[in-house]
């Protein structure tokens, strides 16, 4: 019996459907063979061109921040002209309509459809005849859209093409979402790794301090509003046998703040070996040294003091952010005269004679600026009143002050970097 042209055509269509269904069975393992988002999107587009037998295919991802669709992969004659260069607004063209409506669309005469936007054809020189477009959805969330453009060896797309395309889109959506999850996890791990590295650097240069040197007992602590911050403290022996005490701020938070603070802290430690006995000398030299670091220069605020254990004295300069407080007989005295600017713009050297039982407290402005749930700052007056209490040693002063500040801010937490140095002389 002789086959008719119609039966031959039907047989060819059936064979094509069987082949495509077989491909769909294998597609899941193919598109899940990589979690590299760029590679995955290219694989998806290559599969579309193959199973849909088209001139071109495009994939646009949805960008939540801008609510735009962005061409991520475009295969075909004009692909390179589109990828990463053009965006589609929600509702713009076929892709924008599909994204906005979250419905698939089959158009076999693009230029006769009012939803079609010919702009991209004008840009690339490509001529769009027929389009199959479907949204990539994951649990109702829009990830993007995929398009198959201009079928080969046939006039247009049929309903069977659309059904096949939608089945593939479901598989592709899951693979894309998995890749996005993986990419986000990698980014989070990268950030954690950077934070850990930066934190290790900062901790090595700005450690918590609690020590006794001669008849001087010193404690120091810096607490960051984030994982790391831009405040720092330093305690070191000078070449003349004195004890150098520094508290600084470069007015920057996060990883950059922590790393820049570590640079300044390290420079200060090195300078202490040369000019550590001179508060004015070391601060002026530090400013000159940091002039070559654009990210740090002009942003450093420093309190630097030199404790003479034998003479029980402290000489210091204060360039701005620190609040030096002498606690004597359970009463705090804020030494505001140490803070610049002086009329002529120079730093002022201050000398304080210390007595047994005194506590000298240096705090950064961060603790003053802490706010409670009502938006009220902790303020210097509350700190001064707190310092009227009985304290056993510098460590206890710091622990008590941090607990006091923590109770004041409550659930708001520390949103400012803060540093505290406390020492006493026997």
Q: What is the mean pLDDT of residues 5-22?
A: 55
Domain count, the chain: 2
| Calculated CA dihedral for residues 149, 152, 158, 164, nearest 10 degrees | -70
- Look at residue 129 in the predicted model and tell me its pLDDT: 94
Give residue-wise pLDDT tens across range 95-125.
Answer: 999 999 999 999 999 999 999 999 888 888 8
- Between the alpha carbon of residue 421 and those of residues 208, 234, 315, 360, 371, the distances in Å are 10, 9, 15, 8, 21
**Bridge partners of 191?**
none
Least confident of 66-70, 143-147, 191-195, 380-384: 191-195
Please identify, among 152, 185, 218, the residue that sits at the C-terminal boundary of a domain: 185
- Shared domain for 276 and 152, answered yes or no, is no
Q: At a CB cut-off of 8 Å and minimum separation 6, what does 348 contact?
A: 317, 337, 338, 340, 342
- Look at residue 107 in the predicted model and tell me its pLDDT: 95
Highest average pLDDT, of 165-179, 227-241, 319-333, comes from 319-333
- Shared domain for 168 and 285, answered yes or no, is no
Q: What is the mean pLDDT of residues 332-361?
A: 76
Give a yes or no: residue 79 inside a domain.
Answer: yes
- Shared domain for 166 and 213, answered yes or no, is no
Give a yes or no: residue 57 inside a domain.
Answer: yes
- Shared domain for 154 and 243, answered yes or no, is no
- Shared domain for 261 and 402, answered yes or no, is yes
- Shared domain for 253 and 163, answered yes or no, is no
Per the structure, the complete domain to which residue 399 belongs is given by 206-425
Task: Identify which has the larger pLDDT, 195 or 352.
Answer: 352
- Shared domain for 161 and 262, answered yes or no, is no
Please check the confidence at residue 380 and state whether its pLDDT lies above 60. Answer: yes
CA 362, CA 367: separation in Å to the nearest integer? 11
Task: Identify which has the larger pLDDT, 201 or 127.
Answer: 127
What CATH number is given to the structural domain containing 352?
Answer: 3.60.40.10
Please identify, among 154, 185, 216, the residue that sits at the C-terminal boundary of a domain: 185
Give a yes or no: residue 78 inside a domain.
Answer: yes
Give residue-wise pLDDT tens across range 394-420.
Answer: 999 999 999 999 999 998 888 777 889
Please check the confidence at residue 210 and state whether its pLDDT lies above 90. Answer: no
Please check the confidence at residue 78 and state whether its pLDDT lies above 50. Answer: no
Q: What is the mean pLDDT of residues 146-156?
A: 90
Task: Identify which has the larger pLDDT, 87 or 35.
Answer: 87
- Shared domain for 284 and 359, answered yes or no, is yes
- Look at residue 287 in the predicted model and tell me its pLDDT: 78
Least confident of 96-105, 179-188, 417-426: 179-188
- Look at residue 110 in the predicted model and tell me its pLDDT: 94
Give a yes or no: residue 193 inside a domain.
Answer: no
Give a yes or no: residue 84 inside a domain.
Answer: yes
Mean pLDDT score across all residues of the chain: 79
- Shared domain for 358 and 213, answered yes or no, is yes
- Shared domain for 179 and 210, answered yes or no, is no
- Shared domain for 249 and 180, answered yes or no, is no
User: pTM for the full model?
Assistant: 0.54
What CATH number is given to the structural domain containing 125?
Answer: 3.30.450.40
- Shared domain for 170 and 216, answered yes or no, is no
CA 370, CA 378: separation in Å to the nearest integer? 5
């Amino acid at each position: 019996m002789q086959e008719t042209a119609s039966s031959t055509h039907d047989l060819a269509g059936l064979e094509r459907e069987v082949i495509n269904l077989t491909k769909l069975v294998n597609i899941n393992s193919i598109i899940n063979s990589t979690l590299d988002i760029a590679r995955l999107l290219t694989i998806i587009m290559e599969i579309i061109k193959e199973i849909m037998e088209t001139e071109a295919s495009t994939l646009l991802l949805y960008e939540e921040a801008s609510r735009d669709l962005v061409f991520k992969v475009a295969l075909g004659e004009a692909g390179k002209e589109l990828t990463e260069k053009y965006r589609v607004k929600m509702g713009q063209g076929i892709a924008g309509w599909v994204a906005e409506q979250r419905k698939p669309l089959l158009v076999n005469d693009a230029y006769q459809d009012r939803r079609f936007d010919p702009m991209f054809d004008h840009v690339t020189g490509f001529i769009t005849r027929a389009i199959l477009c479907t949204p990539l959805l994951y649990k109702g969330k829009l990830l993007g859209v995929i398009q198959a453009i201009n079928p080969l060896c046939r006039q247009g797309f049929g309903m069977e093409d659309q059904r096949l395309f939608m089945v593939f889109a479901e598989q592709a959506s899951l693979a894309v979402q998995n890749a996005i999850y993986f990419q986000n996890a990698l980014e989070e791990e990268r950030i954690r790794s950077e934070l850990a590295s930066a934190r290790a650097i900062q901790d090595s240069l700005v450690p918590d301090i609690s020590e006794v040197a001669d008849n001087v007992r010193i404690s120091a602590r810096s607490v960051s509003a984030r994982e790391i911050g831009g405040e720092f403290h330093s305690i070191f022996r000078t070449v003349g046998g004195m004890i150098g005490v520094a508290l600084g701020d470069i007015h920057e938070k996060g990883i950059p703040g922590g790393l820049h603070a570590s640079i300044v802290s390290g420079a200060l430690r090195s300078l202490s070996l040369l000019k550590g006995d001179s508060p004015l000398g070391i601060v002026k030299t530090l400013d000159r040294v940091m002039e070559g670091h654009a990210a740090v220069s002009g942003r450093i605020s420093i309190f630097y003091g030199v404790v003479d254990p034998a003479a029980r004295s402290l000489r210091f300069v204060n360039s701005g952010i620190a609040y030096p407080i002498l606690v004597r007989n359970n009463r705090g005295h804020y030494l505001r005269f140490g803070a610049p600017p002086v009329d002529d713009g120079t730093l002022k050297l201050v000398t304080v004679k210390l007595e047994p039982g005194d506590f000298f407290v240096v705090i950064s402005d961060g603790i003053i600026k802490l706010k409670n749930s009502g938006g009220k700052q902790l303020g210097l007056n509350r700190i001064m009143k707190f310092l009227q209490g009985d304290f056993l040693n510098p460590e206890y002063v710091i622990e008590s002050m941090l607990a006091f500040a923590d109770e004041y801010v409550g659930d708001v937490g520390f949103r400012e970097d803060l540093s505290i140095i406390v020492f006493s002389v026997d």
